[in-house]
Chains A and B, each alone.
Chain A
């Protein structure tokens, strides 16, 4: 048994149609309806021209990240009821070029992602044995939660420094670099540190606003990663200690 309720979806349209930047749709709220479910309902029953992205629909791929009431969220994982609001404004994530309606291109995100050199580079590519990482090592202690990034781009959208600075690395790229820098098997530490240490657009542009941490759908403590890198850049020896 559920209470019948209608919600209003205000969806941003790009390009604007009939001079209106937003289109409004009424949707009957169902028991465990997610924002993505609501968008699909609109697309199938009311307006087939509505454009939005999704893929896995279970919060694993990061494709469906949109601005819901001006907070970056995964549409598939955000239950409408949890928003406690009957007008949902769906907009494209800020800081990205818009492709159509609420679908954006994540190109700026991946430009910075690549700059942080996210690929693992082995110290001993010819090695045949498994590397042994001690259970109580810094890498094992600090990184389990940091690996969950699904590159959804929410943190990049939420960061106000990204909003004012076109060249800032952004939380996800820094977090990825942190993972690699801490990895005892990785050989490219110095190169990554050089990128991270840039005063123009490296970690020093972060001012611990915590926007990124607040919106990460995988609950990664991104600000923590960035702050740890700052400390490591000041005390270089400490980072390298196991």
Chain B
């Protein structure tokens, strides 16, 4: 029980998530913020599989899963139907997907739903790989991250590409609320979900959810890993509200990224040069966001 959050649970225990799962925390606490009058849509993935093993279900709100890449499209249908039936105002619509579902395969459906302005809170639980299929590389896997399809080989050392900047791409659709969050700060995440739900039109939350099974760290350390990712600036925490980017936890004296990398099996192959590369990559991206923050209204012309 986290201080200040309602006791009422809309996601019951007894689900089949791994010990130390970060994603399940994000799902459970989004529901606390959203409450009883919620409809949840979910992409195929770990969360769908662990929460609905027929005939059991963890969901105490109406829930629907269709496929891997169509959660925003299903949500579009729900939004339109509720409008057509005169029930739209009463219901919160939460649309969950992992990084595979949002960064990659469902990216088009997300973009379409945002462009059309379907009111819903789209929540991407990001554990930086396809975990449900056994830890494969996604568009969210960070540079040098080792997965089963970007292994730390003798010649190629993990993923060779950058992580797709999804929250910024989402913000460029001109939607009024985009936020990043981490399960290391559930109160902050909870508030952001509430804010997202109160937004006019679509809103998007990118929540950083470490995965002990895929990142190779002790399952007791999920919150610590999530916190370190924030403290070393690996996972920036900000909001883009009405076009203005603002850090909600600004890290003034960041810890070295190496400290974060060393704690995870997926980065254990990194040498000095590669660690320096990741440090530079993290610094550059963080500085870019700081510049956007200075501009005050980075995205407002697109609203």
* Chains A and B bind each other: no
